């Protein structure tokens, strides 16, 4: 079977059910997405002036991939098999953007060694942990721009969106319409400067359609060690509660524990984390370790 490859010509600025599929796949297929950095290549020269950056599409996503078996109401299991980073990463710092009192503005390009998985931060070696910033399916309702995370996924900027992990996304329209972009060479919790090590990258995923799995909250990440429910909302207070409640319901569905005891266990062993504070909706995750309970919902 021919490898499914979606080139970086297929970028768009919204998760939108009217965007024509760039490729078609069947459940169980693997596909390769060539992703473009969040500035769409506009930050190309070290220390260039921000005013010279002409961003054609902010935070573009590559896709969408139409999965033939996916029907509204299903779950799309996305196994992140590989994220190949580029040979450079870029960042922009400017006053009024992010958590810090930045002064002056600066645009930087840092060299990356994709084989050593390191970046040269002006002589400091920074280990990479490549991740996907933007990934999601098309919502049934109005389009959502690729800067906003919501229930369909989108600009989640979760540092655990790495190779080796699995993402569960909702299918809201037939075909699911999976897109992704905004590759980060590495990012900390919070993404506190509103950018990470922004870069082009090549992502390989396997997509599988799961039927009748309303017990799987979405978007959810599964790592070798944790389940992570995610939520996005305008305030950190709201999204932290949403992420925690998703995990509470997940534990009740899969442990046999009643409501208060699932809450007790989650308070003992769950970690509530901030994934990002910089997007139009903030993001939190609730992580629960597999050493307490491992759930077999892969069938
Ligand atoms: Ca992002
Ligand atoms: Ca980014």
CA of 196 to the centre of ligand 1 (A): 8
Residues 136, 3: Cα–Cα separation, whole Å: 21
| Of the candidates 213, 297, 217, 229, the residue with the CA atom closest to the CA atom of residue 266 | 229
* Å from CA of 248 to ligand 2 middle: 30
Average pLDDT over residues 165-169: 98
> Considering the chain, what is the average pLDDT of its residues?
96
**Cα 139 from Cα 177, distance rounded (Å):** 9
Distance CA 6, CA 281 (A): 28
Q: Which of 52, 187, 64, 87 is nearest to 136 (CA)?
A: 64
Q: Is the pLDDT of residue 194 over 80?
A: yes
In this predicted structure, the answer to whether residue 299 has a pLDDT above a threshold of 70 is no
Q: Residue 251: CB partners within 8 Å, gap ≥ 6?
A: 257, 262, 265, 266, 288, 293
Distance 279 CA to ligand 2 centre (A): 10
**pTM for this one?**
0.97
pLDDT at 1: 62
What separation in Å is there between the alpha carbon of 186 and the centre of ligand 2? 10
Instruction: Give the Å distance between the CA of 257 and the centre of ligand 1.
Output: 37
Domains and CATH numbers, the chain: 3-210 (2.60.120.580), 220-289 (3.10.28.20)
Average pLDDT over residues 266-271: 98
- Phi first, then psi: give them for residue 266, nearest 5 degrees: -65, -35
**Ligand 1 mean position, distance from CA 37 (Å):** 10
Q: Is the pLDDT of residue 207 over 80?
A: yes
Residue 58 Cα to ligand 2 middle (Å):
10
């Amino acid at each position: 079977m021919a490898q499914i490859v979606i080139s970086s010509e297929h970028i768009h600025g919204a998760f939108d059910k009217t965007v024509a599929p760039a490729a078609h796949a069947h459940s169980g297929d693997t596909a390769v997405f060539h992703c473009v950095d969040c500035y769409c290549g506009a930050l190309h020269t070290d220390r260039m002036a921000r005013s010279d950056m002409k961003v054609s599409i902010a935070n573009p996503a590559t896709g969408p991939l139409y999965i033939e078996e996916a029907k509204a109401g299903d779950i799309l299991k996305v196994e992140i098999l590989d994220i190949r980073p580029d040979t450079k990463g870029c960042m922009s710092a400017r006053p009024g953007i992010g958590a810090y009192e930045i002064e002056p503005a600066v645009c930087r390009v840092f060299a990356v060694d994709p084989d050593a998985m390191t970046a040269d931060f002006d002589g400091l070696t920074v280990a990479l942990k490549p991740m996907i910033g933007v990934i999601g399916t098309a919502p049934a309702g109005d389009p959502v721009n690729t800067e906003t995370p919501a229930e369909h996924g989108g600009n989640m900027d979760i540092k655990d969106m790495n190779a080796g992990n699995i993402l569960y996304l909702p299918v809201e329209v037939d075909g699911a319409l999976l897109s992704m972009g905004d590759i980060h060479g590495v990012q900390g919790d919070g993404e506190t400067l509103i950018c990470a090590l922004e870069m082009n990258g090549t992502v390989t995923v396997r997509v599988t359609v799961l039927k009748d799995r309303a017990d799987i909250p979405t978007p959810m990440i599964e790592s070798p060690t944790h389940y992570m429910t995610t939520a996005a909302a305008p305030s950190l207070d709201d999204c932290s509660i949403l992420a925690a409640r998703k995990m509470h319901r997940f534990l009740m569905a899969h442990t046999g524990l009643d409501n208060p005891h699932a809450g007790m266990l989650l308070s003992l062993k769950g970690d509530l984390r901030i994934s990002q504070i910089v997007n139009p909706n903030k993001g939190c995750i609730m992580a629960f370790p597999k050493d307490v309970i491992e759930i077999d919902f892969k069938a």
